[in-house]
Chain A
Amino acid sequence: MKISITELSLDPKNARKHSQRNLDAIAASLEKFGQRKPIVVHRGVVLAGNGTLEAAKTLGWTEIDVAEVPDDWDDETAKAYALADNRTAELAEWDESELAKQLLELQDADWDITELGFEVPKLLDEPNFQPEDIEQPRLDQRAPIMCPQCSFEWRVGAKGEIEPV
């Protein structure tokens, strides 16, 4: 059932907070896939899907799909449901190896996985870079200047003095 976003309010007691990064990922997901599951509301207050509602607002949506819990639920039942909904999702674990594999497959197929809320996956076999015997640039020196006439090279020092190179 679609209803106007203005008829909904976020749960002021929502114990689950959404970071900006989380909201950005939800917004990107909504933009890419649309809303594929309704948010759950009780008498106009969002019990499950507060992040989705916030993200939908940032996208300028005016309507959103909702599922309403029974109207005769009391506040305690609603609170218990809201906590359980967050907690049950939280208790699941990623199979890191399978996750990395699938993310890499999506990346190979030109999907921007950061838009899905994931970081660039760690490669299963990370390269082990070695220390390099390289000359690092100097941050305490300006680039040298060469006179086009006599090829004299100098740089300007910290106090504006001329330093031959």
Chain B
Amino acid sequence: MSLVIAPCSHEAAKYAVMNWHYSQQMPISKLINFGVWEDEKFIGAVIYGRGASPELGAPYGLTQIECCELVRVALTQHKASVSQIVSLTIKKLKETNPGLRLIVSFADPEQNHTGTIYQAMNWIYCGTSATSKEYYYKGKWFHSRMLRPTGFGTIPEIARLTKEQQKQLPTRENRGKFRYIYPLDKPMRRKVEKMRLPYPSAVEGSEASRNTSGIEGQVQSLPTALLNGK
């Protein structure tokens, strides 16, 4: 089996995200898109970016240009392991961006993701990100940033609602996402190794507790393929 990691077009990366990533949402910041080919067939993309926050590297004493975020791993059926694929993209990233010292990535417990890829690659787990507020609109939950008039992730249809209308929407608090970091050089590894916490378990991932207001009933977050078309 041949495995090739190489730059790919934005169109290819977007196709992978829209078809093979749960979010079906392409980040809009400056991105580095690596395509993945097995036996000459395009099987997805691994995407790095600056992330949603300019303070991404601040907890580690890094500026915005020393730190990046692994924002999407969007793969269809593959033979190589995800950790092998991501490792190869990191190698390429280091070659083309020698000034980077750390990669940050997040696993979303709402999707029952605990970060098993990162655990397999010995990334450092350093707790959860800040909690976020979500709003329920037309059958879906949206992050609060999507309600802002402008900026990353804005959904115009919701952003156009008046403040009063937005206040009427059901809300819930989400526990933060699991945060993993991967140092790219030895001094950085020595520096951040002390931040390492025990890896979260699958149980913690499925018990993403939150407070829901405006809607009744307990909302669960456990896996099922029902209605998923798979």
- Report if A and B associate in a common complex: yes
Question: Interface residues, chain A, CB within 8 Å of chain B?
Answer: 5, 10, 16-29, 31, 51, 53-54, 57-58, 60, 89, 94, 99, 103, 114-122, 126-134, 136-142, 157-159
Give the complex CA separation of A121 and B110 in angstroms.
Answer: 23
User: Does A54 contact B219, Cβ atoms closer than 8 Å?
Assistant: yes
B224 and A20: CB pair below 8 A?
Answer: no
Segment of B95-103, B114-122, B146-154 in the binding face: B95-103
Listed from nearest, the 5 A-B pairs whose CB atoms lie closest are A140-B99, A117-B227, A28-B139, A131-B6, A17-B222
List of B residues within 8 angstroms of A129 by Cβ? 8-9, 11-12, 15, 35, 42
Q: Tell me the interface secondary structure of chain A in the complex.
A: loop
* Residues on A with beta carbons closer than 8 Å to the beta carbon of B136: 58
Cβ contacts under 8 Å, B50 to chain A = 139
Contact indicator B35/A138 (Cβ below 8 Å): no
Question: How far is A53 from B220 in the complex, measured between Cα atoms in Å?
Answer: 13
CB distance from A55 to the nearest CB of B (A): 9
Question: Which of chain A's residues have a CB closer than 8 A to the CB of B4?
Answer: 131
Q: Say yes or no: A22 contacts B219, CB within 8 Å.
A: no
Q: Is A57 a contact of B42 with CB atoms below 8 Å?
A: no
* A139 & B33 in contact (Cβ 8 Å cutoff): no
Asked, given contacts A129-B12, A140-B66, whether A117 binds B229 with beta carbons under 8 Å apart, the answer is yes
Q: Bits for B30-66, please: 1 = Cβ < 8 Å to A, else 0.
A: 1111010100111000001110000000000001111
Are A131 and B226 touching (Cβ within 8 A)?
Answer: no
Q: Of A10, A139, A157, which is in contact with the most chain B CB atoms at under 10 Å from its CB?
A: A139
Could you list 5 A-B pairs, sorted by A, with CB under 8 Å? A17-B223, A20-B141, A127-B42, A139-B32, A142-B65
